[in-house]
Amino acid sequence: MTTVPALIKKNTLLLSGAQAFVGAGTQLTPTLGGIMIERLLGSMVLAGLGSSLLYFARLLIAYPIGWVSDAYGRKAGLLLGLALSFVGAVTVGFSMVWLSFPIFFVGLLVFGLGVGAGQQLRTAAADMYLPDRRGEGLGYVLTGALVGALGGPILIAAAQAGAVPLRIDATALAWLLVPAVLVPSAVLVLLIHPDPKTIATHLARFYPGYEPPLRDGATLAAGAGLRSWLAHHPIRVALASMFAAHGIMVMMMALTPLSMSHGGHPLTMISVAVSLHVVGMFGLSLPIGRMTDRFGRRAVIQLGLLITAGATLLVPLASDYWVATAGLVLIGVGWSCVSVAATALVADTVPAVERGRAVGLLDSSSGVASIVLPLAGGPLAEAYGFMALAVLAIAIVIGPMLLTARLQERVLERFVEVPAELYAGPAD
């Protein structure tokens, strides 16, 4: 296994910190979105609009931000995303001060574009590592999202504490405090040097002794284009797997609180279950990344799909709180397996100069699934009960499982370690 240079470790730590700060603000949408919409409209009918709008915005920006990061560097894409998040968060905050739903709608849409742009953190992480440790690099950065998820309640607590003395609505203040976490994130991104795209296109400068793998049928040439990507089997595997895993996860997260409520569980316990689900999503990112490197992308994708589908059988058993909660946690773990391995697979397959767009395409697949499957799951659960969601989930993973079974991984890599005393380090 290759040794990771100190420069790469430093940049990885900065990316992980940026991910943590961004994640803290992102948690406000599922936590406060429904409450704010009800206050603005006086009705619960559109309470779910906040999360839907966030995912829709992420879908809109996924591919364009990939183009930006390919053309101008990963840092440019990330900083643009942070700027959009800043403007969106402030706009959402003032929408509650002015009690304006149209301003809230616009603000949340802009904030969602920023959140979607932030997904390029994964591209930046994949850029800096050789294939045999690429999953591990992704794992380090995604673990930062767990820290960010735990930071969301801190923002809300600070807003509640300051709302009375400042004579401002607590939900408005929570959003107006988001820039306090976005600015440090931007500082961390600016400290990354050189740009991860530069590292990706000159890996031998940073890993002396490394020779790029010989291109074969598993890898694409630069300039292949979207049509060639969609026709390429490894890319199809990644897209189909992420569609299934992400769509199932969002569907279950949209409907499980309702199932638990029908089971008689209080909101506080439902909130705990959702928090544990987030731990499942990101808490094991690092060991999952290492598994991806050791056992291959195919094995971890298949494992993730099986865990995700199997766990849906537990969630409808909402009468037993801990069984249903375990199902939610496992769904998060399954999603993490697919997310890390599919991103690594795309990075293995697409050249660095186009990798941002390819990861954006992967996010587009997730975005479509996060809109379609929850909409399909609601009527299905109403007509046939929550167990029907498990049946749907199992049916959805069959196609990706069959595609993944045909995936042939072949990373042709030659690496000879250069003694430290003979190597002064790469030029920036």
Q: Which two tokens mark 187?
A: 């500082």
The pLDDT value recorded for residue 44 is 62
Same domain flag for 171 and 227: no
The pLDDT value recorded for residue 8 is 95
- Within a domain: 51: yes
Mean pLDDT of 254-258: 69
Total tally of structural domains belonging to the chain: 2
The pLDDT value recorded for residue 284 is 94
Same domain flag for 346 and 380: yes
Same domain flag for 27 and 156: yes
- Whether omega before 194 lies within 30 degrees of 0, making that bond cis, reads yes
Residue that terminates a domain, selected from 168, 196, 213: 213
What one-character-per-residue DSSP string does 154-166 give?
HHHHHHHHHHHHH
Q: 311 with 334: CB under 8 angstroms? A: yes
Same domain flag for 291 and 376: yes
DSSP E strands, 82-133: none
Q: Which of 33-37, 114-118, 122-126, 334-338 has the lowest mean pLDDT?
A: 33-37
The residue with greater pLDDT, 149 or 181, is 181
Pairing of strands 414-415, 210-211: antiparallel
Residue that terminates a domain, selected from 192, 213, 234: 213
Q: 141 with 16: CB under 8 angstroms? A: yes
**Beta-bridge mates of residue 116:** none
Residue that terminates a domain, selected from 172, 190, 213: 213
Q: Which domain holds residue 168?
A: 1-213
Same domain flag for 392 and 268: yes
| Three-state secondary structure call for residue 47 | coil
Same domain flag for 208 and 240: no
pTM of the full structure: 0.84
Tell me the C-alpha distance between 85 and 314, whole Å: 36
Mean pLDDT of 4-15: 93
265 pLDDT more than 90: no
pLDDT digits over 291-337, tens only? 999 999 999 999 999 999 999 988 776 567 888 889 989 999 999 99
| Predicted confidence band of residue 65 (pLDDT cuts 50, 70, 90) | very high
- Within a domain: 34: yes
Q: Which two tokens mark 258?
A: 């309702």
39 pLDDT more than 60: yes
Same domain flag for 155 and 106: yes
Same domain flag for 205 and 277: no
The residue with greater pLDDT, 13 or 224, is 13
In angstroms, the Cα distances linking 409 to 13, 232, 283, 347, 375 are: 29, 13, 27, 13, 35
Residues in the chain, overall count: 428
Mean pLDDT of 84-93: 95
| Predicted confidence band of residue 372 (pLDDT cuts 50, 70, 90) | confident
User: If you average pLDDT over every residue of the chain, what do you get?
Assistant: 85
Same domain flag for 198 and 231: no
Q: Is 401 left (phi over 0), alpha (psi -120 to 50) or beta?
A: alpha
117 pLDDT more than 70: yes
